[in-house]
């Protein structure tokens, strides 16, 4: 992603190494509202599954968002009976609000959530979080619309789900297949930067998170799931669909105007082949050509319509100048955002000024063509004028692309690539925080396995409140406003040429 600002503050993705033995690797959040009947069976079943199949330390967090029944009492009882269970209490409704609050407070490097009805088969949980633990992906989602998924649900919900995803693909150019499946996970370092950009506090929270992550270039892993519809679901379909459409409009408008600072989510790719210096292969040329051609075709149509309108009350030269001026401003703005990926308002005035210089060159070409036509024919037909203008605009378009790419929107990634890569792989850099004794020990033993699940007698990870007889209470948005202690595991760079001293095989 190209911007005029400096690279974002996400470090390079890496495999999560060992940390404190009591720190859970995974925190599974279950957002609930008036689920006194389903909460206990869900937590017990999930806990048994994780005990049996998940090889690392974990935590289950019940996020109660303003329940009015006995759900808080059920959550408190589960917290007192099961060591790996915690409970949060929020005084306002909203699934997105609950997830933002709990994820912001959690110290686990992998954060997940699932619906309390457990419609999704739990066997997909480990495949969901494994790419995040390994460093392969930033987010992971369960997909009910993948070809290998096995789904049981009514025709009404099937139609609504597929229609909604078609709307996302058509309006927001989303490439993920299922936005609303209640089965997702995210790396904590990504969540810390992504969550403040999400406005929705309800059911659209998932979609907004995925759209922003995808637009920022983060990697989203999809897992086909087996899913059985819950006939007793309390979700209001019509209201949810209306709120989702409002969210699509809001996010689409924000993306179109460039008001979202997605450059904060920029991440150095490390050994990504796109970062290699290859001779005679300009970076992003193919994508930029396609975008420029699309914008150019639309701009040409817009220009011709303007010219025809202005020609009805002015001479050909004046109509050409006015139409070209208006279309040039729109063309520069569209190419700035869509073709060259420059977001935000920084340097927008300078880009428009440079675009007007390019416009002047195009005006000279088209005006000269019209002058030559008028010199050759005293009264040229309107269709002949349009044909000459199209030919002149094609020549101006080629020159405009070259000037845009080399002068107006030059690729500045090369200027910051060296410093970005060095910072992302230097453990002593600010990206990694202060070097601790545990970190130094891990540098000497980089192949230590992930922390195993602690015994029942082992001390639990620090997590806001250890009193199992008291439910943690949070007001909505409190977690996002407070400064939480950063207990993220220290990360050690994994490079292609690292050598394992325990490997006795002869390197060939």
Residue-wise pLDDT tens digits, 161-171: 788 878 888 88
Task: Look at residue 432 in the predicted model and tell me its pLDDT.
Answer: 33
Task: Look at residue 466 in the predicted model and tell me its pLDDT.
Answer: 39
Q: Return the structure tokens found at 40.
A: 């206990």
Q: What DSSP assignment string belongs to 334-371? A: HIIIIIS---SSTTHHHHHHHHHHHHHHHHHHHHHHHH
Tell me the C-alpha to C-alpha distance, in Å, between residue 398 and each of 276, 321, 405: 28, 19, 11
Under-70 pLDDT residues of the chain: 1-9, 17-21, 231-238, 264, 266-284, 411-508
How many beta carbons lie within 10 A of that of residue 83, not counting itself?
16
Tell me the C-alpha to C-alpha distance, in Å, between residue 450 and each of 16, 26, 385, 412: 7, 11, 72, 38
How many beta carbons lie within 10 A of that of residue 239, not counting itself?
11
Task: Look at residue 243 in the predicted model and tell me its pLDDT.
Answer: 82
pLDDT, tens digit (0-9, with 9 covering 90-100), for 185-225: 999 999 998 999 999 988 889 999 999 999 888 899 999 99
For helices 39-53 and 125-134, the axis angle rounded to 10 degrees is 60
Provide, for the chain, the percentages of residues in helix, strand and coil under a 3-state DSSP scheme, each rounded to the nearest 5.
50, 10, 40
Which of 118, 121, 133 has its CA nearest to residue 58? Answer: 133
Task: Look at residue 5 in the predicted model and tell me its pLDDT.
Answer: 39
Task: Look at residue 331 in the predicted model and tell me its pLDDT.
Answer: 84
Task: Look at residue 9 in the predicted model and tell me its pLDDT.
Answer: 61
d(CA 499, CA 502) in angstroms, rounded, equals 9
Task: Look at residue 155 in the predicted model and tell me its pLDDT.
Answer: 80
Task: Look at residue 170 in the predicted model and tell me its pLDDT.
Answer: 83
Half-sphere exposure of residue 362, counting CA atoms within 13 Å on the CB side? 36
Q: pTM for the whole thing?
A: 0.57
CB 117 within 8 A of CB 233: yes
In whole numbers, what is the pLDDT of the chain averaged over residues? Answer: 76
Task: Look at residue 234 in the predicted model and tell me its pLDDT.
Answer: 57
Neighbour-count burial of 379, counting CB atoms closer than 10 A to its CB (0-12 exposed, 13-18 middle, 19+ buried): exposed
Neighbour-count burial of 238, counting CB atoms closer than 10 A to its CB (0-12 exposed, 13-18 middle, 19+ buried): exposed
When computed from its CA atoms, the radius of gyration of the chain, rounded to whole angstroms, is 28
Task: Look at residue 482 in the predicted model and tell me its pLDDT.
Answer: 42
Half-sphere exposure of residue 63, counting CA atoms within 13 Å on the CB side? 28
Q: Return the structure tokens found at 66.
A: 């303003």
Helix boundaries (H) for 262-405: 285-311, 316-334, 348-376, 382-403
Residue 13, SS3 per DSSP = coil
Task: Look at residue 77 in the predicted model and tell me its pLDDT.
Answer: 94
Which residues make Cβ contacts (< 8 Å) with residue 495, sequence separation at least 6? 271, 425
């Amino acid at each position: 992603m190209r911007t005029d600002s400096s690279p974002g503050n996400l470090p390079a993705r890496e495999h999560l190494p060992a940390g404190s033995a009591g720190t859970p690797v995974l925190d599974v959040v279950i957002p609930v509202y008036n689920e006194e009947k389903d909460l206990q069976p869900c937590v017990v079943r999930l806990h048994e599954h994780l005990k049996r199949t998940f090889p690392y330390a974990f935590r289950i967090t019940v996020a109660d968002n303003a329940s009015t029944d006995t759900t808080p009492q059920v959550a408190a009882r589960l917290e007192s009976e099961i060591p790996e269970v915690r409970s949060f209490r929020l005084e306002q409704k909203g699934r997105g609000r609950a997830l933002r609050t709990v994820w912001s407070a959690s110290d686990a490097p992998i954060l997940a959530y699932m619906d309390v009805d457990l419609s999704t088969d739990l066997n997909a949980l480990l495949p969901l979080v494994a790419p995040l633990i390994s460093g392969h992906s930033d987010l992971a989602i369960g997909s009910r619309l993948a070809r290998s998924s096995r789904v049981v649900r009514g025709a009404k919900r099937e139609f609504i789900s597929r229609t909604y995803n078609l709307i996302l693909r058509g309006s927001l150019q989303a490439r993920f297949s299922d936005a609303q499946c209640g089965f997702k996970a995210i790396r904590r370092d990504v969540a810390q930067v992504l969550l403040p950009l999400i406005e929705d506090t309800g059911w659209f929270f998932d979609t907004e998170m995925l759209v922003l992550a995808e637009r920022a270039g983060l990697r989203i892993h999809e897992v086909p799931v087996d899913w059985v519809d819950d006939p007793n679901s309390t979700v209001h379909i019509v209201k949810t669909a209306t709120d989702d459409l409002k969210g699509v409009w809001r996010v689409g408008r924000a993306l179109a105007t460039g008001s979202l600072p997605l450059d904060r989510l920029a991440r150095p790719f490390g050994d990504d082949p796109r970062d290699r210096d290859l001779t005679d292969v300009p970076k992003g040329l193919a994508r930029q050509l396609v975008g420029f051609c699309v914008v150019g075709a639309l701009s040409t149509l817009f220009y011709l319509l303007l010219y025809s309108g202005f020609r009805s009350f002015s001479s050909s030269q004046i109509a050409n100048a006015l139409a070209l001026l208006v279309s040039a401003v729109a063309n520069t703005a569209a190419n700035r955002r869509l073709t060259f990926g420059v977001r935000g308002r920084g340097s927008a005035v300078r880009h428009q000024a440079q675009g007007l210089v390019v416009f002047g060159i195009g005006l000279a070409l088209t005006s000269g063509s019209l002058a030559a036509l008028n010199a050759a024919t005293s009264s040229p037909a309107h269709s002949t004028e349009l044909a000459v203008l199209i030919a002149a605009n094609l020549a101006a378009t080629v020159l405009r692309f070259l000037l845009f790419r080399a002068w107006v929107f030059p690729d500045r990634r090369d200027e910051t690539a060296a410093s970005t890569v060095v910072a992302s792989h230097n453990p002593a850099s600010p990206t990694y925080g202060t070097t601790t004794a545990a970190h130094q020990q891990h540098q000497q033993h980089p192949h230590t396995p992930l922390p195993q699940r602690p015994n029942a007698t082992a001390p639990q990870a620090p997590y806001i409140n250890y009193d199992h007889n008291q439910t943690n209470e949070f007001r909505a948005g409190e977690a996002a406003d407070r400064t939480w202690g950063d207990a993220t595991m220290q990360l050690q760079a994994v490079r292609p040429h690292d050598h394992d001293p325990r490997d006795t095989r002869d390197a060939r």
